[in-house]
């Protein structure tokens, strides 16, 4: 059955439906996700493009109810925790701030680790959608606390947290969130795409 919540999403030019079908709901059904499904979603992220093939992304995850779940859930701010607690998995997208050197070059700071990690997040989200799940990225988290709780060396930074699960009826959400539980639109092409120079 087609998702009627997507009917108002109309691209200006023909694109694959994968891009229209992906959206970030907050209503999850609290079911468990098989590890094979989660690993498939993370595998898609692993194949993202990166500058010089450095692949700066790293992922730390927990399954709903496992020994890491509550610790990772507590890294989210109260607003995100209120709905993400019903997700099936949490994934923290991390990037390496350093480009490792070799015998001819020293280590150096990266200028594109966050950009490349964003590409990995996009592929994660698209694969989740293809696999029958939804993924919702969250910037509302305690970054300093996450750095410590996830035991990250100083060269790595938390970029975002992601809730993954099966979308369900928004009735379980707080009333103010129920009204927002629809796929968002996008800015007009003329406002973001320019020929020749920024306008």
- Band (pLDDT 50/70/90 cuts) for residue 153 is very high
For residue 12, being part of any structural domain is answered with no
Residue 5: pLDDT over 80:
no
For residue 87, being part of any structural domain is answered with yes
| Mean per-residue pLDDT of the chain | 94
Tokens of 179: 């009204």
What are the residues facing 162 on neighbouring strands? 91, 137
Dihedral Cα 164, 165, 166, 167, nearest 10 deg: -60
Per-residue pLDDT averaged across 69-79, rounded? 98
For residue 51, being part of any structural domain is answered with yes
Dihedral Cα 27, 29, 34, 37, nearest 10 deg: -30
Q: In which domain, by residue range, is 99 found?
A: 25-169
Give 7-40 pLDDT, tens digit per residue: 678 999 999 999 999 999 999 999 999 999 999 9
How many structural domains compose the chain? Answer: 1
* Alpha-carbon distances of 23 from 1, 33, 118, 147, 176, rounded to whole Å: 17, 19, 16, 28, 19
The pTM is what? 0.93
């Amino acid at each position: 059955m087609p998702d009627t919540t997507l009917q108002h999403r109309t691209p200006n030019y023909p694109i694959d439906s994968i891009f229209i079908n992906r959206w970030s709901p907050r209503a999850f059904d609290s079911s468990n996700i098989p590890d094979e499904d989660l690993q498939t979603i993370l595998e898609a992220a692993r194949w993202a493009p990166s500058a010089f093939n450095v692949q700066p992304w790293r992922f730390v995850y927990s399954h709903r109810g496992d020994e890491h779940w509550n610790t990772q859930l507590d890294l989210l701010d109260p607003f995100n925790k209120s709905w993400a607690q019903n997700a099936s998995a949490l994934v923290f997208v991390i990037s390496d701030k350093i480009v490792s050197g070799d015998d001819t070059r020293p280590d150096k700071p990266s200028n594109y680790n966050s950009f490349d990690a964003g590409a990995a997040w996009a592929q994660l989200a698209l694969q989740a959608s293809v696999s029958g799940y939804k993924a919702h990225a969250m910037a509302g988290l305690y970054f300093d606390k996450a750095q410590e709780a996830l035991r990250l060396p100083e060269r790595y930074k938390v970029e975002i947290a992601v809730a993954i699960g099966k979308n369900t009826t928004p009735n379980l959400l707080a009333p103010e969130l129920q009204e927002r539980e629809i796929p968002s639109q996008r800015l007009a092409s003329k406002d973001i795409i320019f020929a020749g120079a920024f306008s």
